Each structure stands twice: as structure tokens, then as C-alpha cells.
Amino acid sequence: MQFLKQIFASLLGTFLAFVLFSIFGVSIFTAILLAALVEEEAPRLKDKSILTFDLSAEIQDTVPIASFAASFTEGDGNILSLRHAVKAIEAAAKDDRIVALFLDGSGGEGSSGYANLQALRRALEKFQEADKKIIAYDVDWTERKYYLGSIADEILLNPMGEMELNGLGSQQLFFTGALEKFGIGVQIVRVGKYKSAVEPYTQKQLSSENREQLENLLGDLWGNFLQVVGKSREISPQQLQNLVSTRGVFLPQEAIATGLADELAYFDEVEAKFRELTQQSKKKQGFRQIDLGTYAEITRQESLSSANKVGVLYARGTIVYGEGDREQMGSDRLVRQLRELRDDDEIKTVVLRIDSPGGSALASELILRELQLLQKKKPTIVSMGNVAASGGYWIAMGADRIFAELTTVTGSIGVFSILPNIEKIAAENGLTWDVVKTAPFADISSISRPKTEQELKIIQGGVDRIYDLFLDKVAKSRYLPRETVAAIAQGRVWSGLDAKKLGLVDELGGLDAAIAYAAKKADLGEDWQVEEYREEPTFNELLGSLFSLAIAPQKTQQKTPLIREWQNLQKELNILQNLNDPKNIYTLFPFSLNID
């Protein structure tokens, strides 16, 4: 019945919105939306409150437009800005109204990257240093949630739950067999033996080079997990590794016996703990609380202003040529934003936050050129998030200094081109082509046939040229010998820890460290504020996202294994939609890295 109610409500909402728009027009509909914002009561924080952090929330560098539109509706508000979340936790450490912090994992698992989780963990450490208690609770703990939850003063586990701590793994999907079955041919031109973005379309299993870099990358991430979790739980990394290797899944009593959890409790018993901390009546239900997203809004409203501004620009998503959409890094859009920051006299210095697997080589170069022009006028710092690889690393070459987290996936200095053809599948279905041309290579872009050896040689020359440019840019920007860059390039990805050792980044640290360095570089002293720069959504974009939210299915907290696998397949296929480089040459992260 509830399902039918949700469907009916969504249909009714969509219908009413359409009627409103049709009858009253854009201006009236806009006024209604603005009125909803103005009349909304500002959130209030009561004394002796618990700050609650839902671990199913996805922590992103910046909140997408869909979530902005969701503020008008009951849409998905489970996405938080990393910087706002970190600042909120740090503010709560000094706020006498906040008495404790609740890490609630019972709502499911988010997909936040480990670099973002690392930044959140540092903020939680500051909260603890203020002599404030952190309590964590979950029904089923996993590595991603436990990476944060392990810092808690008390870790509670539902008596019917378990802890699945069995290490990190990454599984790659390969399309080669399916392409062969359907008669679709794929030819590959690439530079870099580790540049494995093409492997899903040419092989049926990991190459030895790809397996090597994956093992090294996961090894660094897992090493960090063992260190920080072991330190919090007072278990040596070796002991923790032994527990994970011999058991993998811990039943409630085993979790207590091994020291991974402190107490077994149902949620009502957790609530009772918080009622005691907030000095509320034991007879009442629930406890006095404020969620992290709401508290972040309050702390943002209470922040001071200054004429000296550190501009923060978010470069997130696959790099595409042109404008791109809100989930992509469109070259035209980012170039426009960089120019505006360069011409804004109030912006004294700029931090570019990169979270991108790369993409179009041409688009990456257009962005880099604009960043270099900005660098000539103002100090320009790059902060790398979860991923800054291939084109994402290319654009970082326009920075005075590069910051990365220990767990940031970076590097992947390599280039490739994918050349599909449908000759076989077309022939099997009675389709043929013929051509008239004035020169031998007039139809080199055709997908009706495979490329000839001579054509492949031409395309390889273009890919080699882009790779040489990539090496030159890295060598010049990082003050490294070209032969050194060539040795650590080859399309290989590195952890932030290894990237620092190799000279690919300057410092290990998060976004806040990069911002503080930028302010120091610009000699701003103590009088400065952060100005997060992003284009406001147009009315059409906002309206479109509102309609999409109205008809979208309700988000479920837990995803079944089948749904997760289907979403991974969609993610892999979406990569192909982002390949829009005019020259069909890409600097893209070598594989779709799904770490579980």
C-alpha cells in the first residue's frame, strides 16, 4: 500500500507542477519556489544536542544540482559537501550546545571515496580532542563504514548484526566476449603498458601490468586502513590483518571478543545512552539531536565575512569537450569559470579541487591553458580528492603546488584511442557499404570497417604526440627529468603516498590544508574567507531536476547485490558516452575502480 501511495503522490506532484507551469507561466512558478525558500523556518539548535552523522550519506566535493532541487521536495538529501561536513564537525567540537557525536551506520553504506573519508576522520579526531564523546552504531559494519566508525569511543553492534571485515577488492567487468558475440570489432591504439582503460574491450581478464598496479594501489589503501583502524582500536596492524585473513566475517560475540566492538545493543538502547548524555527523561522516546547536514547550514550562516577571498573551484567528473552536463567536467564551462576567477579582484588566490578520472585530451589541454593564465596572475593551488588521474592529473600541471591525500588515486600518465567497427554485425544482418573518395584516407573515421595498417600508423602517431606532450608538461611542471617521468608514467596509477615519493605531488593533505597554504601564499594573514565558486543553476536546469525528482523512484537504503551489479554495468557503459574528443584521443583513468 505504501508503494502505491508513493507512486500516486509522485504522479500527482508532477501533474500539479505541469498544470501550474502551463496556466500561470514561468514567473508565477518561480515566485512559488522562492516563497517556499523564504517562508521555510530556519533550523534551530537546542542546548545539549547530539550531532548525528548518517554513514550512508555520500560525501562529495560539491553537491550536484539534483540535490539542490531536492531541497524543495522530499528528494535525495543524502549527499553532503565534504568541506561543509568537515567544517561542521570542527565547529561542533567548539560548540557548547553539542555534547556528543553519533556515527549511525544503520541506514546503509554510502559510496564515499577513501580520500574523502580520510579528511572526515581528521575532523573527527579534532572533535575527540575537545573531550567530546563519539558513539558509533551499526547492524552490519563494513570496511568503508568502519574506517570512520573505528574512531569512536564506543562501538556498538546490533545483537543480530555482524562485522564484515574481509579486506579490499576491486572487480573489473570485461565486454570482449559480448562484443565478439555480437560482431563488433574494436581496435586499440595506446601508449603506456599500464594504460588499461582499453582492456575491458580487448581482453577477458586483467593483464599482468594491470593486476600489478591494482595490487600496489589496494595495498597502499589497505595499509592505511590497518594503521588508522588498528591505532583507534589499540590493535597492531599485524594482529588486525591476521583477524581479517582468518575470519573475514565476525559474529556479534566474536566482534566483542576480538576488540573490534565494545558492546551489543539494540537501537532503543543506543537512544537511552544519548538521552543520558542530553539529560533527558528516560521515559521519552528518541533524543535531542541535529543531523550533520542541517548543522552544516547553521555554521555556514554564522561564518564571518572578509574582503580577502580564497576562491575554491571544484573540477569534478569525466573531462569532456564542450559544455558538458552537471556530472561532467565540460571544458567550456570550466574555462569560463577560471576566467571569471582570474578577473575577480576580490579573489586573491585560487584552489582547484580535482576529483576526476580524466577524459578528452583536447579538453584537458584547454582547461590547463586557462589555469596557467590564472597562475600568472594569482597563486593557484591544486587539491586532489579521491581521483586525479590522466586528464585529471594533466590539468593539475597548472598549479603552484599540488596537495593529495594518502589514498588519492593519481598519475595514469598515458594516452589511448578506441576504434570500434560494426562490419561483422552489419554483414550478418545484410548491411553493406561502398564508398567514393578523392584520397586514400578520406573515410578514416568510418566505423563500417576495421582500420588498415597504414591508418593505424597515422592514429598511433597522433597518440604518441599527445603522450610526448603529457610527459613534457609533467617534467616541466614537476621539475623532473623527462626520463624519470617516462619511467613512472606508462599509464600507471599511484596512491597519493607513492605519488609524493615520486615527486608527482608536493604535499599530503586535504582540501583545508591546500586552502590554508593558498592564503599563506597570497599573504592574506588572518583576514580571509573561503568563496566556493560554482555557477548557479539556470531556471531550466532547476525546473528539469525538479520534474526528474518528482517522477524518480524512491531511493532505497539497502541495495541488493543484483542492483549493485546492474549499476556497475551502467557505470561502465556511461564511460563510452563521455568519449567525445574531436580527435578521439583520451587521457582517461585506466579502469573503473570499484573498491569493496
Residues with catalytic roles: 195, 390
The whole-angstrom separation of Cα 117 and Cα 404 is 13
Q: How many Cα atoms occupy the beta-carbon half-sphere of 304 within 13 Å?
A: 7
∠ Cα 317 110 68 (to 5°): 60
Pick from 250, 259, 283, 317: nearest CA to 575 = 317
How far apart are the C-alpha atoms of 240 and 227, rounded to whole Å?
9
401, containing H or E segment: strand 401-404
Residue 38 vs residues 14, 32, 402: alpha-carbon distances, Å: 23, 10, 41
Residue type, 359: G
CA angle 65, 66, 67 (to 5 degrees): 90
* CA distance linking residue 19 with residue 14, whole number of Å: 9
Distance CA 133, CA 8 (A): 44
Instruction: Provide the residue count of the chain.
Output: 596
Residue 578 near residue 359 (C-beta atoms within 8 A): yes
| Bridge partners (DSSP) listed for residue 433 | none
User: Is residue 92 a contact partner of residue 98, using CB atoms and an 8 Å limit?
Assistant: yes
Q: Determine which helix (DSSP H) or strand (DSSP E) holds 380, and give its type and residue range.
A: strand 380-389
Instruction: Say whether 249 sits in a helix, a strand or coil.
Output: strand
Task: State the DSSP H helix or E strand holding residue 295, giving kind and residue range, or none if neither.
Answer: helix 292-301
In degrees and rounded to multiples of 5, residue 102 shows phi and psi of -115, 115
CA dihedral 468→473→476→478, nearest 10 degrees, is: -120
First to last CA, the chain: 35
* Burial category of 292 from C-beta neighbours within 10 Å (exposed 0-12, middle 13-18, buried 19 and up): buried
The H or E element that residue 530 is part of is: strand 529-533
Least Cα distance to 510 among 349, 388, 385, 356 occurs for 385
- Phi, psi at 109, each rounded to 5°: -115, 135
Q: Directed axis angle between helix 2-39 and helix 539-551, to 10°?
A: 150
Q: How far apart are CA 354 and CA 395, in angstroms?
A: 9
CB 54 within 8 A of CB 290: no
Element (H, E) at 454: helix 453-478
Grid cell in block for residue 261: 566492538
Task: Give the 3-state secondary structure percentages of the chain, helix then strand then coil, rounded to 5.
Answer: 45, 20, 35
Phi and psi at 546, nearest 5°, equal: -65, -45
Tell me the three cell numbers of residue 499: 605519488
In 200-327, the DSSP E strands lie at 249-250, 263-264, 289-291, 309-316, 318-320
